[in-house]
Amino acid sequence: MKNEIAIVLAAGMGTRMRPLTDETAKPLLKVDDVPMIETLINALYARGILAIYIIVGYKKEQFNYLTTKYRNVELIENKEYSVKNNISSLKAAESVLGEHNCFICEADLFIKDSDVFHYDFEKSCYFGNFVEGISDDWVFDLSGDKVVNIKKGGNNQYNMCGVSYWLKDDISKMKGAISKSYNTPGHGNMFWDEAVNYILEDINLGIFPISSNRIIEIDTEEELAQLNNLNKLYCYC
């Protein structure tokens, strides 16, 4: 078993997928009859990870079954999820940051290829998919192979895939950056990735390139339906 943990961010309300998320927390929506979050958990455990901490908020009780179905899964409540952005989920997890190397993952991901986690990471990195042309997603400015800025929107750049990996010394610095952010006006509107910009000069943060079909982020009801239909077509051919 690897001396690593994972933080899975599952507290959000998933408003872009209403009305589905009026009844079900977004990470528990199913692809091929499997909740998205379970494809992530299974991929992390296939790596041999030590423990998974799931940060919950919206419909938190729906996640309780995961603690009995999977070993070493623990739920941490984000009590600020409805009034602050996802920086509040990293703040809620601060007690487990800094002791181990750590994955930080969005929970609304369908992991199509669990082998994407089977890599020996020598430095902290974001999983990134290179997008040609204009993108309005989160992107990375690079100097050589080092991330020097994280921002929204770019051109011919690596885009976020919802997964990052952190060496324990770097995640300790991130913990400090989160605390620093909490002392600034307007921090409630921040994404946790924006706090990374505070420490980029002090860490060696890179990109782990992956193709877009290995980790699929689902943001709309139409995307979910399309993915389910494509998978059924593939299975029945």
Which of 44, 109, 92, 90 is CA-nearest to residue 71?
44
- The token duo for 96 is 């487990």
User: Residue 44 — very low, low, confident or very high, per pLDDT cuts 50/70/90?
Assistant: very high
180: CB partners within 8 A, 6+ apart: 195, 198
User: Residue 234 — very low, low, confident or very high, per pLDDT cuts 50/70/90?
Assistant: very low
The letter for the amino acid at 41 is: I
pTM (2 decimals)? Answer: 0.91
Q: Which CATH superfamily is domain 4-127+160-236 in?
A: Spore Coat Polysaccharide Biosynthesis Protein SpsA; Chain A (3.90.550.10)
The letter for the amino acid at 21 is: T
Say whether pLDDT at 223 is over 90.
Answer: no
Are residues 29 and 12 in contact, defined by beta-carbon separation less than 8 angstroms? no
Which of 179, 171, 31 is CA-nearest to residue 101?
171
What is the pLDDT averaged over residues 168-188?
Answer: 90
125-143 and 34-35 strand pairing = unpaired
What average pLDDT is seen over the chain? 90
Are residues 215 and 105 in contact, defined by beta-carbon separation less than 8 angstroms? no
